[in-house]
Structure 1
Amino acid sequence: MRDKNYTAVSLFTGAGGMDIGFEKAGVKPVLANEMMKEAATTYSTNHPGAKMVNDDVNNIFPLLEDYAGVDFVFGGPPCQGFSVAGKMDPNDERSKLIFTFLDAVEKIQPKAFVMENVKALGVLDKWSDVRKKYLGRTREMGYLCVPFVLKATDFGVPQKRERVFFIGIKGIDDAMFEHNMQELINAQKVKAPSVREVLAPLGVAGTEINPKTSTAKITFATNPIMRKSPYSGMYFNGQGRPINVDEYSNTLPASMGGNKTPFVDEDYLYGDAKEDWVVGYHKGLVNGTIKPQFELAPNRLRRLTIKEAAKIQSFPDDYEFAGSKGKVYTQIGNAVPSKMAEAVAKAVVTYLEEMALRSA
Structure 2
Amino acid sequence: MIKAISLFSGAGGMDVGFKNAGVDVVLANEIDLNAANTFVANHPDTKMIVGDINDNLHNFWDYTDIDLVFGGPPCQGFSVIGKMDPNDERSQLIWSFLKVVEIVRPKAFVMENVKSLATINKWKGVREEYIKRAKELGYGCVPFVINAAEYGTPQKRERVFFIGIKDDTDFEEAIWNQIFSQRRKAPTVRQLFSDLGPAGTDRNPQTCNAKITFAVKPVMRRIPYDCLMFNGIGCPIDPDGYSRTITASMGGNMMLIVDDVFLHDPTADNWIQGYYDKLVSHEIIPEFKEAPPRLRRLTINEARRLQTFPDDYIFCGSKTSVYKQIGNAVPCEMAKTVATAVVKYITVD
TM tier, smaller: over 0.9
- Alpha-carbon spacing, 1:104–1:286, altered in 2? closer, same or farther (3 Å): same
Report how far residue 20 of structure 1 moved: 0.2
- 1:227-273: per-residue Cα shift (whole Å, max 9, x none)? 22112333323333111111011100101134532111111111364
- 1:154-207: per-residue Cα shift (whole Å, max 9, x none)? 110011100000011112253xx2111111111111111111111112111112
In the alignment, structure 1 segments of 5+ residues that lack a partner are none
Q: Which residue is 1:100 aligned to? A: 96
CA distance in 1, matches of 2:88, 2:69: 24
Report how far residue 296 of structure 1 moved: 1.7
Give the counterpart letter for 1:49 in structure 2. Answer: D
- 1:32-60: per-residue Cα shift (whole Å, max 9, x none)? 00001100000000000001111000111
Q: Does residue 178 of structure 1 match 2:178?
A: no
Q: Which residue is 1:53 aligned to? A: 49
Q: Residue 73 of structure 2: which of 74, 77, 100 is its match?
A: 77
Q: Which residue is 2:343 aligned to? A: 349
Q: Residue 114 of structure 1: which of 101, 110, 115 is its match?
A: 110
Whether the aligned pair in 1 keeps the contact of 2:212 and 2:295 (CA below 8 Å) is yes
Q: Does residue 163 of structure 1 match 2:169?
A: no
CA distance in 1, matches of 2:114, 2:218: 29
Q: Give the RMSD, CA atoms, in angstroms.
A: 1.4
CA distance in 1, matches of 2:186, 2:278: 32
TM-score (norm 2): 0.96
Whether the aligned pair in 2 keeps the contact of 1:185 and 1:347 (CA below 8 Å) is yes
Q: Residue 86 of structure 2: which of 61, 83, 90 is its match?
A: 90
- 1:42-100: per-residue Cα shift (whole Å, max 9, x none)? 00000000011110001111110111121110000000110001011111111111011
> How do 1:248-327 residues align onto structure 2 when only pairs under 5 Å count?
248-271=242-265, 273-291=267-285, 293=287, 295-327=289-321
Q: Residue 142 of structure 1: which of 121, 138, 141 is its match?
A: 138
CA distance in 1, matches of 2:182, 2:196: 27
Report how far residue 208 of structure 1 moved: 2.6
Give the counterpart letter for 1:264 in structure 2. Answer: V
Q: Which residue is 2:215 aligned to? A: 221
Among all aligned residue pairs of Structure 1 and Structure 2, give the percentage whose two residues are the same amino acid: 56
In the alignment, structure 2 segments of 5+ residues that lack a partner are none
Report how far residue 352 of structure 1 moved: 1.1
Give the counterpart letter for 1:271 in structure 2. Answer: D
Whether the aligned pair in 2 keeps the contact of 1:79 and 1:94 (CA below 8 Å) is yes
Report how far residue 286 of structure 1 moved: 2.0
Give the counterpart letter for 1:333 in structure 2. Answer: G
Give the counterpart letter for 2:105 in structure 1. Answer: Q
Give the counterpart letter for 1:86 in structure 2. Answer: G
CA distance in 1, matches of 2:286, 2:181: 48
Give the counterpart letter for 2:103 in structure 1. Answer: K
CA distance in 2, matches of 1:332, 1:173: 34
Q: Point out the more displaced range, 189-198 or 229-238.
A: 229-238
CA distance in 2, matches of 1:300, 1:100: 45
CA distance in 1, matches of 2:174, 2:219: 45
SS of the residue corresponding to residue 231 of structure 1 reads helix
Whether the aligned pair in 2 keeps the contact of 1:267 and 1:273 (CA below 8 Å) is no
> How do 1:174-253 residues align onto structure 2 when only pairs under 5 Å count?
174=170, 177-253=171-247
CA distance in 2, matches of 1:297, 1:255: 20
CA distance in 2, matches of 1:224, 1:9: 44
CA distance in 2, matches of 1:119, 1:135: 16
Q: Residue 31 of structure 2: which of 9, 18, 35 is its match?
A: 35
- 1:115-174: per-residue Cα shift (whole Å, max 9, x none)? 000000011111111111100111111111100000001110011100000011112253
- Alpha-carbon spacing, 1:110–1:223, altered in 2? closer, same or farther (3 Å): closer
